[in-house]
Chains A and B, each alone.
Chain A
């Protein structure tokens, strides 16, 4: 009965939403700010990838807020799943060799690991030129560490203190770059520094620096999340 009522409700909502989207200008929406940004992004920000200009310059505060949300989630997960919040002692087996994933998986991951780091850093550092950037690269970095901790469930793939330090340092540098802009240029997160040769790696002023901070922050938060969820699995 509940299911039937829910199905009716959803069907009604579906019809309503279809009608509403029928009223929307699909495929040729007004794009008021979109066109303004496309026209001026080249001169104002100097990044070849306009999406990056929007993420880090026009809507930089959104990005800061989003990094804070990741930080809040990672902090909350860390608080929830640390060992101290569980009264039971962990049933961690003393033999660490037994739970490992075998020769092929471990050595394969060890082989890929440095390559993944390079790919991640490449994606981050070319965020203002190509599709990609801090978020995507940060996820690749976090996955590199996650894979190591998956094949060695008992081993320590990354130190918690290092993660804490990187996430604080990256967040700090993002805000400090913004504050320097506030006191030298007059506005928080205003683009600074020489824009360089358009389309080259050293261009777009502070944008690559900001994206590096974002990449490190995202990588550290996701690695921290995976680490916390992974250690707890042992306890349950």
Chain B
């Protein structure tokens, strides 16, 4: 099982050699990335059954924890790895004008994503988080649109400040406890639950919150998503934001499982939902509307995770997957349907298929039965109502309010799409690869409708596995419970 380290190493290896290979053969350099991704996808699928319910730990360099770096692999992280490889294959740029080094950046992004999902070491997570960030800056800045360089620079300032805060948080935790291994830290939570530990956690949340589009840290979102190509936006909004969320959740579950912390997360989530929907309501063009609605959806995910225990975790996971599918699909669809709402007038006549898919996506996003989005929102509201705290009950009101606002602007857009008169400027009809992918996303969404109960059972299993720090500690530090001092 130690060969699962290839998930991180192979993309790095291919990133290093792509520029040299490109000097000899452009075609081969173009193919290296997809081949590696397919290989990794196969590796993930083949190892699915050999990972038991307790997960599996890889001790890098053969050093027993806590001294070395540890990778922790369970079904949850394997599922995320599969999604990463699949999503990267979908947004892989096949265009002829892509420079070889851009492929390198995509492969570095892949390696960083796998590292973020698998690593169980705080500083190692920081390193992969930074790799992810630098690869993203490069990919954003390289877009044909010159405004993208400005968006990238502004994003860099916000994100690099956040990363320095993340580092500061890690420094405080290390000074306090003298270790970096998350499982090892989880065995000494009482030391972390003081003022110093909590401020370290706040710094970590601020650092990772930049990429998770958290409230107040998301000024970069609309600028970046409206200046880059839509497949890349689908990758960033659909997947990368979720990885940052996973980082926050892992640290939260293992180290800071306290009701005050969860309530803080809830408040941040509610603010994200309300502010995102309000601004999306005022947006006048497709990409801007999608970016702000993505902020709101991430806020909703934070609300779900703020419910203590397994329940919140599995609802949050379901929301993450649903948002990945829907928002990824919408951004892929927007490859052709972009521009102001005026430009999209009468679009239904030009491509009925695109509009049909669009409507499926937004109905699920709003939570109209029988789409998956409905069941998830229902579970969220029911479980919020069960909480013994009025703060959670207020959150229900805000979620319903946000849904009303969301419905208002989405149906306004639908009315534009079905208008009789056509727009003066013609928006091209969808015939590209991205449109096919959007159709596949919609199909997956519809098919998942038939399997709602098996999928939710699977997610519940995964959540109970992830939410239990004992499994995590036992797998990574086997000597801890048997009494020996590691």
A and B bind: yes
Interface residues of A (CB under 8 A from B): 16, 19-20, 23-26, 29-34, 36-37, 40, 44, 57-62, 64-66, 68-69, 71-73, 75-76, 78-80, 161, 164-165, 167-168, 171-172, 175, 178-179, 181-182, 185-191
Chain B residues whose C-beta falls within 8 Å of the C-beta of A19 in the assembled complex: 195
A sample of 12 inter-chain contacts (CB < 8 A) reads A25-B175, A44-B63, A59-B68, A59-B69, A64-B12, A69-B131, A79-B141, A161-B23, A167-B16, A172-B13, A172-B17, A175-B12
A189, closest chain B residue (CB): B61
A187 with B62, Cβ < 8 A, contacts A58-B68, A64-B12 known: yes
Chain B residues whose C-beta falls within 8 Å of the C-beta of A24 in the assembled complex: 172, 175-176, 196
Partner of B108, one of A58, A66, A72, A188: A72
A33 with B179, Cβ < 8 A, contacts A62-B123, A62-B127, A65-B124 known: yes
Say if the beta carbon of B393 comes within 8 Å of chain A. no
Say if the beta carbon of B60 comes within 8 Å of chain A. yes
A75 with B9, Cβ < 8 A, contacts A187-B61, A188-B2 known: no
Chain B residues whose C-beta falls within 8 Å of the C-beta of A76 in the assembled complex: 101, 105, 134-135, 137-138, 141-142
Partner of A34, one of B16, B111, B141, B178: B178
A29 with B16, Cβ < 8 A, contacts A69-B127, A71-B108, A186-B2 known: no
Contact A20 B63 (CB under 8 A): no
- How near does chain B come to A121, taking the closest CB pair, in angstroms? 22
- How near does chain A come to B193, taking the closest CB pair, in angstroms? 12
- How near does chain A come to B59, taking the closest CB pair, in angstroms? 6
> Which 6 pairs of residues, A with B, have the shortest CB-CB distance?
A76-B138, A30-B178, A171-B16, A187-B62, A32-B178, A65-B127
Say if the beta carbon of B162 comes within 8 Å of chain A. no
Say if the beta carbon of B184 comes within 8 Å of chain A. yes
A6–B194 CA distance with the chains assembled, in angstroms: 28
A33 with B175, Cβ < 8 A, contacts A179-B9, A182-B5, A188-B5 known: no
Contact A168 B172 (CB under 8 A): no
Chain B residues whose C-beta falls within 8 Å of the C-beta of A31 in the assembled complex: 178
B119, closest chain A residue (CB): A61
Contact A29 B61 (CB under 8 A): no
Chain A residues whose C-beta falls within 8 Å of the C-beta of B181 in the assembled complex: 33
Say if the beta carbon of B177 comes within 8 Å of chain A. yes
Chain B residues whose C-beta falls within 8 Å of the C-beta of A61 in the assembled complex: 8, 60, 69, 124, 127
- How near does chain B come to A203, taking the closest CB pair, in angstroms? 18
Say if the beta carbon of B363 comes within 8 Å of chain A. no
Chain B residues whose C-beta falls within 8 Å of the C-beta of A78 in the assembled complex: 101
Chain B residues whose C-beta falls within 8 Å of the C-beta of A30 in the assembled complex: 176-179
Chain B residues whose C-beta falls within 8 Å of the C-beta of A181 in the assembled complex: 61
A60–B138 CA distance with the chains assembled, in angstroms: 25
Partner of B115, one of A40, A65, A178, A187: A65
Contact A168 B101 (CB under 8 A): no
Contact B67 A37 (CB under 8 A): yes
Contacts A32-B179, A175-B16 supplied; 19 other A-B pairs, CB < 8 Å: A32-B178, A33-B181, A36-B67, A65-B124, A69-B127, A69-B130, A71-B15, A72-B134, A73-B134, A76-B105, A79-B101, A80-B141, A164-B19, A167-B16, A171-B12, A178-B9, A187-B61, A188-B2, A188-B60
A-facing residues in B416-454 (Cβ within 8 Å): none
Chain B residues whose C-beta falls within 8 Å of the C-beta of A175 in the assembled complex: 9, 12-13, 16
Chain A residues whose C-beta falls within 8 Å of the C-beta of B194 in the assembled complex: 23
Say if the beta carbon of B296 comes within 8 Å of chain A. no
Contact B20 A168 (CB under 8 A): yes
Interface residues of B (CB under 8 A from A): 2-3, 5, 8-9, 12-13, 15-17, 19-20, 23, 58-63, 66-69, 99, 101-102, 104-105, 108, 111-112, 115, 123-124, 127-128, 130-131, 134-135, 137-138, 141-142, 149, 172, 174-181, 184, 194-196, 199
Residue from the set A25, A64, A65 with the largest chain B CB neighbour count within 10 Å: A65
Chain B residues whose C-beta falls within 8 Å of the C-beta of A20 in the assembled complex: 172, 195-196, 199
Chain A residues whose C-beta falls within 8 Å of the C-beta of B59 in the assembled complex: 187
A32–B177 CA distance with the chains assembled, in angstroms: 7
A89–B9 CA distance with the chains assembled, in angstroms: 41
A50–B177 CA distance with the chains assembled, in angstroms: 21
A74, closest chain B residue (CB): B101
A9–B477 CA distance with the chains assembled, in angstroms: 42
Contact B17 A68 (CB under 8 A): no
- How near does chain B come to A161, taking the closest CB pair, in angstroms? 7
Partner of B69, one of A44, A62, A75, A179: A62
Partner of A57, one of B8, B63, B184: B63
- How near does chain A come to B435, taking the closest CB pair, in angstroms? 28
Contact A168 B17 (CB under 8 A): yes
Contact B172 A72 (CB under 8 A): no
Chain A residues whose C-beta falls within 8 Å of the C-beta of B20 in the assembled complex: 164-165, 168
B180, closest chain A residue (CB): A33
A186–B61 CA distance with the chains assembled, in angstroms: 9
A66–B178 CA distance with the chains assembled, in angstroms: 22
Contact A75 B67 (CB under 8 A): no
- How near does chain A come to B63, taking the closest CB pair, in angstroms? 6
Chain A residues whose C-beta falls within 8 Å of the C-beta of B195 in the assembled complex: 19-20, 23
Partner of A68, one of B61, B108, B124, B149: B108
Chain A residues whose C-beta falls within 8 Å of the C-beta of B69 in the assembled complex: 58-62
A185 with B23, Cβ < 8 A, contacts A71-B108, A72-B105, A72-B135 known: no
A150–B363 CA distance with the chains assembled, in angstroms: 61
Partner of A58, one of B61, B102, B104, B142: B61
- How near does chain B come to A61, taking the closest CB pair, in angstroms? 5
A172–B104 CA distance with the chains assembled, in angstroms: 14
Contact A191 B61 (CB under 8 A): yes
Chain B residues whose C-beta falls within 8 Å of the C-beta of A25 in the assembled complex: 175-176
